[in-house]
Amino acid sequence: MRSPQHDSLDRLAAAARSGNAASMAGLYLAIRPMVVQRARAELDPAAVESVADAACCAVVNSVPDRSAPDEPLLHLVYSTTSRMIARTGAESRTRLPAGIDVLPEREREVLILRVIVGLDADDTAIALGNTRSQVLLAQYRALRTLGVSRGG
């Protein structure tokens, strides 16, 4: 099931594919809040704005030249943002919430997207290139692990 947010982003991407400046600006503005939230989850506040701007620009500029235009835009946004975050130096990284750093990467990513960014299970699945069931299972495992590690 596709969320309204997902459909809206894909419509904006289709309009921006022509290279129209207004459509590209609209796409930038639409993806920026989720990119900022994702960056805030792992970066020092001083680095968030520059990384978010770089990620948004990279996404918007890649839309007209995408070799896989059928790929969901949400997946492109997530993967580009993750790469930009990974490129930042250790001094720009922030400490993740207690316990989350012990989780396997996939479970940690699911919790960041679901809890911090605020994506629903369907959009998280699209962003990660997984199924909804895989996302819910990873979320369950992560929460179970956190409960065990906190003694609860």
Question: What is the Cα–Cα distance from 138 to 84, expressed in whole angstroms?
Answer: 24
Question: What is the Cα–Cα distance from 151 to 125, expressed in whole angstroms?
Answer: 29
Domain borders along the chain are: 1-94, 95-152
Residue 14 has a pLDDT of 85
Residues 81-103: pLDDT tens digits? 999 998 987 777 776 777 788 89
Least confident of 1-10, 56-65, 133-142: 1-10
What CATH number was assigned to the domain covering residues 95-152? 1.10.10.10
The stretch 111-140 carries a mean pLDDT of 94
Q: Regarding predicted confidence, which is higher, 140 or 3? A: 140
Question: What is the Cα–Cα distance from 41 to 117, expressed in whole angstroms?
Answer: 8
Report residue 96 as tokens. 């993740």
Into which CATH architecture does domain 1-94 fall?
A: Orthogonal Bundle (1.10)
Residue 30, C-beta contacts closer than 8 angstroms, at least 6 positions apart: 8, 9, 12
Residue 111 has a pLDDT of 92
Proportion of the chain above pLDDT 70, given as a percent: 89
* Helix, strand, coil percentages, rounded to 5, for the chain: 75, 0, 20
Contact 147/98 with Cβ under 8 angstroms? no
Residues 102-120: pLDDT tens digits? 899 999 999 999 988 889 9
Residues 17-53: pLDDT tens digits? 888 899 999 999 999 999 999 999 889 898 999 999 9
